[in-house]
């Protein structure tokens, strides 16, 4: 694998992880009941606010650390697709003067899709853990 490619996916992974982590944190800090109320006002079950915030918070940390990057990114693709379809699409790409458009959500979706498809191995904790386990099992099976 080309080192430039790995550096690029590392940058995407860390920026995406930080972005989602902060979004999840803000949902909890601002009072998850407020977010739950907003979810209810747009026709979604209020408990989904906690689910979404938890996925953003924990998934963001996992991405920064490089844990389960493909699976977490796939969840982020679903979250962003839901946000675009349910909330932002009606406002247009750049917004309608009353609310934000879906351009940022689409960019985050694309970043998450790229990581879900390709993975990100550089400075990824799961690569280090699985490689260590693999090396350990290889050395014990040789003896």
Give the total residue count for the chain.
143
* pLDDT higher than threshold 80 for residue 33: yes
Contacts of 71 (CB under 8 A, 6+ apart): 116
Cα(115)–Cα(112) distance, integer angstroms = 5
pLDDT in tens, 60-79: 999 999 999 999 999 999 99
Tokens 């904790």 belong to which residue? 125
- pLDDT at position 141, please? 52
Any domain includes 142: no
Query: Is position 19 within any domain?
Result: yes
- Tell me the per-residue pLDDT of 89-116, one tens digit each, with 9 for 90 and over: 999 999 998 889 999 999 999 999 999 9
| Confidence (pTM) | 0.88
Cα-to-chain-centroid distance, residue 142: 39
In which residue are the tokens 């962003």 written? Answer: 80
Q: Residue 21's pLDDT band (boundaries 50, 70, 90)?
A: very high
* Burial tier of 22 (Cβ tally within 10 Å: 0-12, 13-18, 19+): middle
**92: containing domain:** 3-137
In a domain, 143, yes or no: no
pLDDT at 54 over 60: yes
| Residue 80 within any structural domain of the chain | yes
Residues 49-63, mean pLDDT to the nearest whole number: 98
Nearest Cα neighbor of 111 from 88, 80, 85 is 80
Domain count, the chain: 1
Are the beta carbons of 133 and 140 closer than 8 angstroms? no
Whether 2 has a pLDDT exceeding 80, the answer reads: no
DSSP letter, residue 121: -
Average pLDDT, rounded, for the chain: 92
Residues contacting 38, CB < 8 A, separation 6+: 49
Which residue stretches of the chain are H helix?
A: 3-29, 32-41, 47-65, 69-83, 103-118, 125-142
């Amino acid at each position: 694998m080309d080192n430039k490619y790995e550096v690029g996916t590392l940058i995407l992974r860390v920026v995406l992880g930080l972005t989602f982590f902060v979004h999840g944190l803000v949902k909890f800090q601002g009072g998850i009941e407020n977010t739950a109320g907003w979810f209810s006002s747009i026709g979604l079950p209020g408990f989904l606010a906690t689910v979404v915030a938890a996925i953003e918070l924990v998934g963001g940390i996992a991405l920064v650390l490089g844990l389960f990057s493909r699976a977490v990114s796939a969840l982020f693709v679903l979250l962003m697709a839901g946000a675009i379809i349910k909330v932002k699409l009606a406002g247009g790409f750049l917004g309608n003067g009353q609310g934000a458009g879906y351009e940022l959500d689409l960019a985050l979706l694309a970043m998450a899709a790229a990581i879900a498809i390709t993975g990100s191995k550089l400075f990824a904790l799961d690569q280090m853990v699985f490689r260590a386990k693999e090396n350990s099992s290889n050395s014990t099976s040789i003896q």
